[in-house]
Amino acid sequence: MAIEIDLSGQVALVTGGTSQLGRVMVRTLAAAGADLAVHYHRNAEGARALCAELEALGRRALAVMGDVGTLPAVLAMRQTIQSGLGDPHIVVTNAVSQIAWNTILEADLSSYEDQFRTSVLQNVHLAKAFVPAMIARGKGRFIGINTECTMQLKPNQSAYAAAKRGMDGILRVLAREVGEHQITINQVAPGWTISDRDREQGTERNEGYEATVALKRRGTDQEIANVVAFLASDLASFITGAYVPVCGGNVMPTV
């Protein structure tokens, strides 16, 4: 019997769907058969172009705008997605705000507030908006995109790493709260990943970083998306509460 990832008939929402990693997740979930709600905050043109690409493959696709850091905006997104595609079976919380990294003594307090909104509160808002329909259905997949930085805790990472650690706590608690409904809650934690930007700029290699990685290379955006698709599928039906590093062994959770 062949084993394959088949998401046919399912609707997936990817926040930050036009970002470097998000667009590859969107394409990969669509390749597995899912219809897509492509969330964006400012890149409307990119979202529309990505949806046109998916529709050319025979998928239903919807561009949806919103600030994931505010609950009213996320509830408005839910209404748009329900009307256009139906309630999502799969939610991927990939959006995150970009900030300047500084030491704790030098960082502006707004950096911490910004990262809290787009990492911790995003997941709270999307859970409130989309998990009830999963409970009613008796099945669902909620996948947060975390980071290896959550375990590294290197200088200048404090605002980002603190927010992602908060996200980790939210999603592990959520996994226990909704597990009885056969809803899985997992996290994918990329390392420093090669994206289209690197390919365009010729910056795929970084020997200093690669030296710290067990596999001695940087991962690719497709390798991240592959794990997202796996966790979204029935192949991962008995995995929940997991933090899955996809970083070539640069960080390794222990027992």
Tell me, yes or no, whether 5 lies in a domain: no
Look up the domain containing 209 and give its range. 11-246
Looking at the structure of the chain, the number of domains it has is 1
Instruction: Check which CATH number belongs to the domain holding 139 and give it.
Output: 3.40.50.720
Question: Cα(255)–Cα(42) distance, rounded to whole angstroms?
Answer: 41
Q: Which of 40, 160, 209, 243 is catalytic?
A: 160
What is the model's pTM?
Answer: 0.97
Confidence class of residue 4 from pLDDT cuts 50, 70 and 90?
very high
Residue pLDDT, tens place only, 33-69? 999 999 999 999 999 999 999 999 999 999 999 999 9
The reply to whether 71 falls in a domain is yes
Averaged pLDDT, 83-109: 96
In this prediction, residue 2 carries a pLDDT of 86
Phi and psi, residue 16, nearest 5°: 60, 40
Asked if the structure places residue 92 within a domain, the reply is yes
- Report the interhelical angle of 122-137 vs 71-84 (nearest 10°): 40
In-domain check, residue 1: no
Residue 160 annotated as catalytic: yes
DSSP letter at 3?
A: -
What is the structure's pLDDT at 91?
99
Q: Is residue 254 in a domain?
A: no
Which pLDDT tens digit goes with each residue over 98-120? 999 999 999 999 999 999 999 99
Task: State what percent of residues in the chain have pLDDT above 90.
Answer: 98
How many other β-carbons are positioned within 10 Å of the β-carbon of residue 242? 18
- Residue 139 has which token pair? 């099945």
Report if residue 156 sits inside a domain.
Answer: yes
**C-beta separation of 243 from 187 below 8 A:** yes
Q: What is the CA radius of gyration of the chain?
A: 17
